[in-house]
Amino acid sequence: MDDYTIELENVTAIYEGERIPALYGISLAVDRGVILGVIGPNGAGKTTLLEVMNGLLPVTAGTVRALGAAVSPRNHRLRQRIAYLPQDMFFDPPTPFLARDVVLMGRFARLGMFRLPGREDHRAVSVALAAVGAEELARRPIGRLSGGQQRKILLARVIARQPEILLLDEPMANLDPQAKLELSHLVLRIHRELRLTTVVVSHEPGPLLDAADRIITIVAGRIAVPEQPPIHVRM
């Protein structure tokens, strides 16, 4: 199992209070350093797959491993090495945080409880903001930024976390075409420069799926067979 960054073996997962599993019998191995695209209709289980990979949702059957260790909600040390950007994560105008504060939140998983950010943490924030070209946004309220700018800040938070695995759920949702293009290329650059293993859920073609090493289709909680080949789209 240690040959893969992420491995799921016969995984079934069900949300509390539900009777029908959101995922059923999923087996999947993700090689280190690749981009895996996940496509499928709404409600198929794509987001659930990311939550299982991140340990947010415990499995009812099967095993999940990442970076050579078992994934579970209690394995906090492992989850520090996995960054997850949920779908439609945007901030309302009254949100009382500066953009720099939001990026600093990416360090909290490494700090743990009862530790205040230090010089190294603030340095990581500055490096992350520079990496996404958002230094000029650092002192602006996060809720006053555009959707594309907020996504840049959230990617900076991911970088500040210094992860090895990046999980993205519909990262281009609700962005205009130019912002989608810019953010796609930014994600690809971060993937390469940080040597990440990236799993991206998307319902639309674009540069991220175009660059994917592999694409799977989830339908009704299962991986469709045969798997879909990579989608190549000229932008």
pLDDT at 111: 66
pLDDT at 235: 34
Could you give the CA distance from residue 25 to residue 48 in angstroms, rounded to a whole number?
Answer: 13
Could you give the CA distance from residue 198 to residue 91 in angstroms, rounded to a whole number?
Answer: 24
More confident: 46 or 204: 46
**For range 186-206, the mean pLDDT:** 91
Quick check: helix, strand or coil at residue 182? helix
CATH 3.40.50.300 domain extents, the chain: 1-81+163-235
SS (H, E, C) 87-130: CCCCCCCCCCCEHHHHHHHHHHHHHCCCCCCCHHHHHHHHHHHH
Q: What is the pTM of this model?
A: 0.88
More confident: 224 or 73: 224
Q: Does an H or E element contain 192, and which?
A: helix 177-194
**For range 1-30, the mean pLDDT:** 88
What are the structure tokens assigned to 214, written together? 């592999």
How many Cβ atoms from other residues are within 10 Å of residue 26's Cβ? 24
**For range 194-209, the mean pLDDT:** 90
pLDDT at 107: 84
Q: What are phi and psi of 70, to 5 degrees?
A: -70, 135
pLDDT at 172: 86
**For range 9-28, the mean pLDDT:** 93
pLDDT at 1: 43
How confident is the prediction for the chain on average, in pLDDT? 88
- Domain 1-81+163-235 annotated CATH 3.40.50.1220: no
pLDDT in tens, 75-112: 888 888 999 998 878 899 999 899 999 999 888 776 66
pLDDT at 112: 63
For 27-61, the DSSP string reads EEEEETT-EEEEE--TTSSHHHHHHHHHTSS--SE
95 CB-side CA count, 13 A? 17
What are the structure tokens assigned to 163, written together? 């992860």
Could you give the CA distance from residue 73 to residue 52 in angstroms, rounded to a whole number?
Answer: 9
pLDDT at 3: 60
What are the structure tokens assigned to 69, written together? 């260790």
How many Cβ atoms from other residues are within 10 Å of residue 74's Cβ? 11
211 neighbors 35 (Cβ within 8 angstroms): yes
| Alpha helix ranges (H) inside 13-90 | 46-54, 76-79
Owner of token pair 């909600």: 73
pLDDT in tens, 134-185: 999 999 999 999 988 998 999 999 889 889 999 999 988 888 888 889 889 9
Q: What are phi and psi of 38, to 5 degrees?
A: -125, 120
**For range 47-74, the mean pLDDT:** 92
**For range 2-14, the mean pLDDT:** 87
Q: What are phi and psi of 39, to 5 degrees?
A: -125, 170
